[in-house]
Amino acid sequence: MTIKILLADDHRMVRQGLKLLLERQPHMKVVAEAEDGLAAVRLAKEHGPQVAIIDVSMPGLNGIEAARKILAHRPGTKVIGLSMYSDRRYVIEMLRSGALGYILKESAFDELVQAIATVMENQTYLSGRIADVIIKDYIKGVEGGRASAFTKLSNREREVLQQLAEGRSTKQIAAQMNLSIKTVETYRKKIMDKLNLYSLAELTKYAIREGITSL
């Protein structure tokens, strides 16, 4: 059986390199490539990949939110997060989104192949360094600590926050998300009230710090 794979990363060179290596493997085929989270969701609906390898930090819609949307439409897809970040917030939220794997970009390619084989068996795969971070944080009870954007804001609010932080106007966000301008303005006010942040600069700093966008 050939494993159909979706690659989502905003760096073309990364996508091309991974595609070349993956298609050298027996029974693996890259059926679609996406340069941002919105394209990843659309292409997953169109191609129905068995595995989606998604960069955690992408413009428009980050990998965590993209994973949630992909799995909402195609729950059988096995999602693997790909990132340069080992920060526990990225890892935990990627796993909460429904992803079964998390690989660091510094990892050897063989580890990605192993991750694909593992998630195809409905098992979780984490890079070695990631597993250490999660275990240590669990022991320390970090989960009971400071609330994050992923607990304070709804999925839609996080999407609007990312769009705002990346410099899009209310009109652009409304068109992108198929919402009315008034609805976007309502979301913006709710976000500001929940976070107690009342300027675009503050919202942008917050979004970067919380991993909503990397700009």
**Residue 15, pLDDT score:** 94
Q: For 174-189, how does the pLDDT look when each residue is reduced to its tens digit (9 = 90+)?
A: 999 999 999 999 999 9
**Residue 144, pLDDT score:** 52
CB atoms within 10 A of CB 79: 29
Q: For 118-175, how does the pLDDT look when each residue is reduced to its tens digit (9 = 90+)?
A: 999 999 999 877 777 676 665 555 445 557 788 889 999 999 999 999 999 999 999 9
For CA atoms 137, 142, 143, 146, the dihedral sign is negative
For CA atoms 151, 179, 99, 113, the dihedral sign is negative
CATH of domain 149-209: 1.10.10.10
Q: Which CATH superfamily groups domain 3-140? A: Response regulator (3.40.50.2300)
Task: Calculate the alpha carbon distances from 5 to 15, 43, 57 in Å.
Answer: 12, 11, 19
**Residue 75, pLDDT score:** 94
Q: For 16-74, how does the pLDDT look when each residue is reduced to its tens digit (9 = 90+)?
A: 999 999 999 999 999 999 999 999 999 999 999 999 999 999 999 999 999 999 999 99
Residue 89: band (very low, low, confident or very high) from pLDDT cuts 50, 70, 90: confident
Write down the domain spans for the chain: 3-140, 149-209
Residues whose CB is less than 8 angstroms from the CB of residue 11 and which lie 6 or more positions away in sequence, other chains included: 55
Instruction: Average the pLDDT over 103-130 and give the result.
Output: 91
**Residue 29, pLDDT score:** 96
**Residue 135, pLDDT score:** 66
Residue 211: band (very low, low, confident or very high) from pLDDT cuts 50, 70, 90: confident
**Residue 146, pLDDT score:** 59
d(CA 25, CA 86): 27
Please report how the helices 181-195 and 170-177 are oriented relative to each other, as an axis angle in degrees rounded to 10.
Answer: 110
**Residue 137, pLDDT score:** 63
